[in-house]
């Protein structure tokens, strides 16, 4: 177990909780090690925290939250995985959340690896948006839930 500085304060993170980026995100190619952080009060949203640069975090959610589906998988996926999209926070008080739907992240829970890939299109099925209030079940075993006195609510992506 090692303590890492994060934008939310120090966290103790075990080696088996570290995710490795195998298809780097444009503009963040030097960042290779990450952790997934989640507070139950934040519903389905998860923070992807860089362990290489404490101030870098990305807010993620399952694509179903935005009624998005992907029929393809990235070239680096040798096993089945879990797609997640980055959330774009509103710049105004009444703004709405948006997603970076054309550059999802794909998580491989068996190997604790993930990468970003660019898609040319995604499917938007008809029907209501997802009302799931938890992160994807396939990732829940690898998500760090901070102790109650630490708060992620002050962080921003």
pLDDT for position 47: 95
| CB within 8 Å of 88: residues ≥ 6 apart | 97, 98, 99, 100
Q: Is residue 151 part of a domain?
A: no
Nearest to 62 by CA among 31, 38, 91: 38
**In the block, which residue shows the tokens 């029929």?**
71
Q: Tell me whether residue 15 is in a domain.
A: yes
- pLDDT value for 55: 93
Q: How high is the pLDDT of residue 89?
A: 85
Number of domains into which the chain is organized: 1
**149 falls within a domain:** no
Q: What CATH number does the domain containing 72 carry?
A: 2.30.290.10
For the stretch 61-88, pLDDT in tens is: 999 988 888 988 999 998 889 999 999 9
Tokens found for residue 87: 């959330």
Q: What range defines the domain where residue 113 resides?
A: 2-144
Residue 16 falls within a domain, yes or no? yes
- Cα(1)–Cα(35) distance, integer angstroms: 13
Q: Longest C-alpha distance within the chain, in Å?
A: 45
- The answer to whether residue 8 is domain-embedded is yes
What is the CB-side half-sphere exposure of residue 41 using CA atoms within 13 A?
8
Give me the residue label for tokens 């860089």.
50
Identify whether 88 is part of a domain. Answer: yes
Assess if residue 74 is contained within a domain. Answer: yes
pLDDT < 50 stretches in the chain: 148-151, 153-157
Residue 96: count other Cβ atoms within 10 Å of its Cβ. 8
Residue 157 falls inside a structural domain? no
pLDDT of residue 155: 45
């Amino acid at each position: 177990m090692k303590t890492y500085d994060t934008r939310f304060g120090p966290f103790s993170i075990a080696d088996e909780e570290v995710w490795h980026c195998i298809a780097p995100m444009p503009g963040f190619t030097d960042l290779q090690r990450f952790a997934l952080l989640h507070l139950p009060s934040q519903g389905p949203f998860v923070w992807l925290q860089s362990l290489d640069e404490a101030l870098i975090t990305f807010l993620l959610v399952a694509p179903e939250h935005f009624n998005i589906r992907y029929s393809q998988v990235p070239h680096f996926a040798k096993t089945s995985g879990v797609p997640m999209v980055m959330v774009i926070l509103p710049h105004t008080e009444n703004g709405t959340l948006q997603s970076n739907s054309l550059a999802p992240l794909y998580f491989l829970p068996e190997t604790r690896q993930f990468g970003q890939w660019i898609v040319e299109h995604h499917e938007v099925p008809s029907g209501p948006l997802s009302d799931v209030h938890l992160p994807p079940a396939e990732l829940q075993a690898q998500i760090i839930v901070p102790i109650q006195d630490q708060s992620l609510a002050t962080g921003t992506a």
